[in-house]
Amino acid sequence: MRIDVLSAVPALLDSTINESIIKRARSRNLAEINVHNLRDYADGKYRQVDDSPFGGGAGMVLKPEPIFRCMQKLLGEREYDEVIYLTPQGVKLNQKKANVLSLKSSLIIICGHYKGIDQRVIEKFVTEEISIGDYVLTGGETAAAVLIDAVVRLIPGVLNDSESALTDSFQTESGFDSPVYTRPAEYEGMKVPEVLLNGNHKDIARWRGQEGLKKYNKVKKKKSNNK
């Protein structure tokens, strides 16, 4: 998979793509991630990428010219499956959406900043708008990090245990994974459930399903009480 990210503050993505599982995916040539600094496509001595909005109001808007130039360069080199703009108004990112995107071969992610991007960029290039939650961030880089992590870890061969992604929370029937334990079997008087120690995989699978369902019902009850 190839992912190209357009950003006004590319340094914010450094740790995301250069550490942990994403770094492993890149080193195994399973994911190619390129971050493009919009200032490299801007005009003038100061390489300005933002300006005040027409009609007045607070905040700054990312200018169309740098994004258009970067997009035109990328689209001139290859085809992309999706051009994603990260915005609070987008479709909510969930595991199903991450699964779908993990099957794509090439993505462009556009990170907004401040008040967002010029609408003409959206109308010209964007094929999908995605949100990671109902809140406002300073820029789309944080959201891009979340999206990249959620998608890349699903690519076959990225995780060492081929079953890990399939048994994650939101991949199971209940939507939640069961509690997990590791050695020692007893610590400060607290014991690991006996079912996890008996070696009976059917019993363990049944227990995990039941515990995941308990989590689901508990969260569902909390949400209902908070309405």
Identify the CATH number of the domain in which residue 205 sits.
1.10.1270.20
* 158 domain residue, yes or no: no
Contact by Cβ (8 Å): 8, 38: yes
* Share above pLDDT 70 across residues of the chain, in percent, rounded to a whole number: 93
Judgement on whether residues 49 and 126 belong to the same structural domain of the protein: yes
Judgement on whether residues 109 and 206 belong to the same structural domain of the protein: no
pLDDT at position 163: 46
Judgement on whether residues 91 and 193 belong to the same structural domain of the protein: no
Could you report the per-residue pLDDT of 85-136, keeping only the tens digit for each? 999 999 999 999 999 999 999 999 999 988 899 999 999 999 999 999 999 8
Could you report the per-residue pLDDT of 10-56, keeping only the tens digit for each? 999 999 999 999 999 999 999 999 999 999 999 988 999 999 999 98
* 123 domain residue, yes or no: yes
Domain that includes residue 200, residue range: 172-225
Q: What is the number of structural domains in the chain?
A: 2
Which of the pair, 212 or 216, is modelled with greater confidence?
Answer: 212
Judgement on whether residues 63 and 35 belong to the same structural domain of the protein: yes
